[in-house]
Amino acid sequence: MRAILIHKDEDGQRVEVADVDQSDLPQGDVTVRIDYSTLNYKDSLALTGASPIVRSFPMIPGIDFAGTVEASDRAELSEGDGVVLNGWGVGESHWGGFAAKARVSGDWLVPLPHAFTTRQTMAIGTAGYTAMLAVLALEDHGVAPDAGEVLVTGAAGGLGSVAVSVLARLGYTVVASTGRPAESGYLTDLGASKIINRTELSEPGRPLGRERWAGAVDVAGSHTLANACAATMRGGAVAACGLAQGMDLPASVAPFILRGVTLIGIDSVYCPRPRRLEAWDRLSTDLDVDHIDLMTREVGLEDTIRTAVDQLAGMTRGRIIVDVNR
Global pTM reads 0.93
| CA pair distance 1, 49, nearest whole angstrom | 24
Same-domain check for residues 202 and 99: no
Average model confidence (pLDDT) for the chain?
96
Answer yes or no: is 50 within a domain: yes
Residues 174 and 46 in one domain: no
Alpha carbon 90 to its chain centroid, in Å, reads: 14
Among 265, 285, 314, identify where a domain stops.
265
Which of 245, 265, 285 is at the close of a domain? 265
* Per-residue pLDDT tens over the stretch 35-52: 999 999 999 999 999 999
Write down the pLDDT at residue 10. Answer: 87
**Which pLDDT score is estimated for 60?**
98
Domain end point (choices 265, 281, 309): 265
Q: What is the DSSP string of 122-174?
A: HHHHHHHHHHHHHHHHHHHTT--GGG--EEESSTTSHHHHHHHHHHHHTT--E
| Residue-number span of the structural domain to which 311 is assigned | 2-112+295-323
Residue 219 has pLDDT above 90, yes or no: yes
CATH of the domain at 39: 3.90.180.10
Residue 240 maps to a domain: yes
* Count of CA atoms in the C-beta half-sphere (13 A) of 251: 24
Q: Tell whether 155 and 231 lie within a shared domain.
A: yes
Residues 23 and 64 reside in one and the same domain: yes
Average pLDDT of the residues in 49-72: 96
Instruction: Note whether 247 and 305 are same-domain residues.
Output: no
Q: Does residue 84 share a domain with residue 151?
A: no
Is residue 65 located within the same domain as residue 163? no
Helix H or strand E encompassing 273: helix 273-286
Task: Name the domain count of the chain.
Answer: 2
Q: Convert the pLDDT of each residue in 237-278 to its tens digit.
A: 999 999 999 999 999 999 999 999 999 999 999 999 999 999
The β-bridge relationship of strands 296-299 and 262-265 is unpaired
Burial grade of 295 (CB within 10 A; 0-12, 13-18, 19 or more):
buried
Residue 282 covered by a domain: no
Residue 69 β-bridge partners: 32
Would 288 be classed as within a structural domain? no
The yes-or-no verdict on residue 15 having pLDDT over 90 is yes
Is 118 within a domain?
A: no
DSSP letter for 310, please. H
Is 181 in the same domain as 238? Answer: yes
CA distance 133 to 139: 10
In angstroms, the CA 133 to CA 182 distance is 28
Instruction: Tell whether 283 is covered by a domain.
Output: no
Do 159 and 98 fall into the same domain? Answer: no
Task: State residue 120's pLDDT score.
Answer: 96
Q: What pLDDT is recorded for position 314?
A: 87
Instruction: Tell me, yes or no, whether 13 and 73 share the same domain.
Output: yes
Q: Identify the band that residue 149 occupies on the pLDDT scale cut at 50, 70 and 90.
A: very high
- State whether 233 and 156 are in the same domain: yes
Q: Is the pLDDT confidence value at 11 over 90?
A: no
Residue 289 lies inside a defined structural domain of this protein = no
Instruction: Provide the CATH number for the domain around residue 162.
Output: 3.40.50.720
pLDDT at 104: 98
Same domain, 133 and 216: yes
Report if residue 205 sits inside a domain.
Answer: yes
